[in-house]
Chains A and B, each alone.
Chain A
Amino acid sequence: NAGVTQTPKFRVLKTGQSMTLLCAQDMNHEYMYWYRQDPGMGLRLIHYSVGEGTTAKGEVPDGYNVSRLKKQNFLLGLESAAPSQTSVYFCASSYSRDQPQHFGDGTRLSIL
């Protein structure tokens, strides 16, 4: 039972570099989400998708882009990484809006 899988688990970037975080779910969920978690704060929604081919902005979307080309995958991109984007990133998915979200184990990203 893989559930929600995030790749990579850890990454260190230099300021200005780009990278893509991959989220894959095998539960046939329609809804997928990207959050970031910072010390002393709850999870904050970056972007979300309500189905294949759709994306929408969350609470803190600036500096990030996303794509949902396949139903099972949700990609989060950083075009030009900044130290303020150092965080733990969580992907989640749910069958519908009123069903609990299932989370991956997170990606710890450090930007120097």
Chain B
Amino acid sequence: DQQVKQNSPSLSVQEGRISILNCDYTNSMFDYFLWYKKYPAEGPTFLISISSIKDKNEDGRFTVFLNKSAKHLSLHIVPSQPGDSAVYFCAADNNDYKLSFGAGTTVTVRA
């Protein structure tokens, strides 16, 4: 039973526009959330994180929003660039050494 769900397997966006990736979770004990980016034939790389005590965290073009009451987080990429084309994984941590990952969303940025 997946505790972290990314319901959109893919997203296509034009270069320069905003990409919005969504993630829902079911476990209310999760207190730390992360986004990872993955290129083909490479391992995931850390992108941005947010603690449950915050509702927003920003790092350059990437912003993560957390809505605890809805058990929902989103990643905004503004503006989208061709190098952003990758698979994005949402992950959640409930303070027990184990990360729970979503299935990933494949982002394609069109020129």
Residues of A within 8 A of B (CB): 4, 31, 35, 40-45, 48, 50, 56, 58-59, 90, 92, 97-98, 100-106
Contact between B42 and A105, CB atoms less than 8 A apart: yes
Contact between B97 and A105, CB atoms less than 8 A apart: no
- Residues of B23-63 at the interface with A, using a CB-CB cut-off of 8 Å, are 32, 34, 36, 41-46, 49
Asked if B100 is an interface residue, CB under 8 A from chain A, the answer is yes
Number of B residues near A (Cβ < 8 Å) is: 25
Residues of B within 8 A of A (CB): 2, 4, 6, 32, 34, 36, 41-46, 49, 89, 91, 93, 95, 97-104
Partner of A100, one of B2, B46, B89, B98: B46
**Residues of chain B lying within 8 A (CB to CB) of residue A59:** 98
**Residues of chain B lying within 8 A (CB to CB) of residue A103:** 36, 43-45
Contact between B97 and A31, CB atoms less than 8 A apart: yes
Contact between A98 and B32, CB atoms less than 8 A apart: yes
User: Could you write out 6 A-B pairs with CB less than 8 Å apart?
Assistant: A42-B89, A42-B101, A43-B89, A48-B98, A100-B46, A101-B99
Q: With A and B bound together, what is the CA distance between A106 and B40 in angstroms?
A: 10
Select from chain A the residue with minimum beta-carbon distance to B46.
A100
Q: With A and B bound together, what is the CA distance between A95 and B46 in angstroms?
A: 14
**Residues of chain A lying within 8 A (CB to CB) of residue B45:** 103
**Residues of chain A lying within 8 A (CB to CB) of residue B42:** 105-106
Partner of B41, one of A40, A56, A105: A105
Select from chain A the residue with minimum beta-carbon distance to B41.
A105
Q: For A31, A58, A97, which residue has the most chain B Cβ atoms within 10 angstroms?
A: A97
Q: With A and B bound together, what is the CA distance between A59 and B49 in angstroms?
A: 22
Contact between B99 and A45, CB atoms less than 8 A apart: yes
| Chain A min CB distance to B52 (Å) | 12
